[in-house]
């Protein structure tokens, strides 16, 4: 029988990682970000994911980031660490570390660059789950970044066969694929949108929430959108979705998290520093960000 995780629903924020000008972790700003999320109603926090620039952070930095988020959350929100890697050996170790640090779950991306077969994907996730058998594991399918799509049949096999694989963040953009996961998933297996703009349509089909980028900037709005969907208040949810759609779109007109980090600086929550090869967004993107944030009442 699959592990039951009652709290795995609603808005989860894929946290950005604040850096200082010298490239080091900006701990005070990270703590400020955690409080901003919790004050905005977000109860699921995901450090060290794609939005956190995990491709550029070291294992030691990841552990420090996770510890800070856990300390600052103080049990007020669940912490789900990004522990994926294209090396199964590394993903196993990162996931085991997350469990030992006291995380509530792990978000594990499909192995990138290697382009494994579906059989390889299955064995990868089975090895990761076995390394921390009491830790809830959330699969993460994002073929636009990994060059490997995890098929519906693969997701369902892992959901049925591995007790602590309890959810998926689906960012394939394939409504047919995600719909079939929702249609055939075992009881208790949660499905999260991996794209902000797909939150409403997927939750209308029965998805449980979103792993959001936009909630970095607008936690109150994104948590409310999910709450409206979970309550079946679709007319209000549609109005809020359309209100948020410009923000959801502007965050990705350049490589994420460039735009969202610029926005967070405009909100006064952190400095705008990225690690190469990411670079700050263009002046045109900044103007669009300012306009969208002002329309939402987040900046003057």
Q: Is 169 a catalytic residue?
A: yes
Q: Is 161:129 a contact under the CB 8 Å cutoff?
A: no
For residue 238, what are the contacts with CB-CB under 8 A and spacing of at least 6? Answer: 200
- What burial class does residue 86 get, using C-beta atoms within 10 Å of its C-beta: 0-12 exposed, 13-18 middle, 19+ buried? middle
Q: Are 178 and 156 in contact (CB under 8 A)?
A: no
Annotated active-site residue in 78, 169, 221, 261 = 169
* Lookup: tokens for 163: 């007790």
288 is catalytic: no
Cα–Cα distances (Å) from 72 to 27, 65, 67, 158, 260, in that order, read 10, 11, 9, 33, 22
Residues 190-226 as b/e (b if ≥16 CB within 10 A, e otherwise) read bbbbbbbbbbbbbbebebbbbbbbbbbbbbbbbbbbb
How far apart CA 202 and CA 179 sit, in angstroms, is 8
Annotated catalytic residue, options 140, 221, 290, 300: 140
* Token representation of residue 6: 């009652």
Paired residues of 141 in beta bridges: 170
Residue 269 to residue 71: CA distance in whole angstroms: 18
Residues annotated as catalytic are: 140, 169
């Amino acid at each position: 029988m699959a592990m039951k995780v009652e709290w795995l629903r609603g808005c989860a924020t894929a946290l950005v990682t604040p850096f200082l000008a010298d490239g080091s972790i900006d701990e005070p700003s990270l703590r400020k970000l955690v409080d901003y999320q919790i004050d905005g109603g977000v109860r699921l926090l995901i450090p060290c994911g794609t939005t956190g620039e995990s491709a550029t952070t070291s294992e030691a930095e990841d552990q420090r980031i996770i510890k800070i988020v856990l300390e600052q959350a103080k049990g007020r929100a669940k912490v789900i660490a990004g522990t994926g890697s294209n090396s199964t050996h590394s993903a196993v170790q990162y996931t085991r570390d997350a469990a030992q640090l006291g995380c509530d779950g792990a978000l594990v991306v499909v192995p990138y660059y290697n382009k494994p077969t579906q059989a390889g994907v299955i064995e990868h996730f089975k090895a990761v789950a076995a390394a921390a058998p009491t830790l809830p594991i959330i699969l993460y399918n994002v073929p636009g970044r990994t060059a490997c799509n995890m098929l519906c049949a693969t997701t369902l096999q892992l959901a049925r066969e591995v007790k602590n694989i309890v959810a998926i963040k689906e960012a394939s953009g394939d409504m047919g694929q995600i719909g079939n996961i929702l249609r055939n998933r075992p009881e208790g297996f949660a499905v999260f949108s991996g794209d902000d703009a797909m939150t409403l349509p997927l939750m209308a089909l029965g998805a449980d929430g979103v792993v959001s980028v936009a909630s970095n900037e607008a936690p109150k709005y994104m948590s409310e959108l999910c709450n409206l969907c979970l309550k079946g208040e679709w007319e209000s949810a549609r109005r809020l979705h359309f209100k948020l759609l410009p923000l959801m779109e502007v965050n990705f007109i350049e490589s994420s998290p460039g735009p969202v980090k610029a926005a967070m600086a405009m909100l006064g929550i952190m400095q705008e520093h990225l690690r190469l090869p990411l670079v700050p967004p263009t002046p045109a993107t900044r103007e669009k960000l300012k306009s969208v944030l002002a329309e939402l009442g987040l900046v003057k």
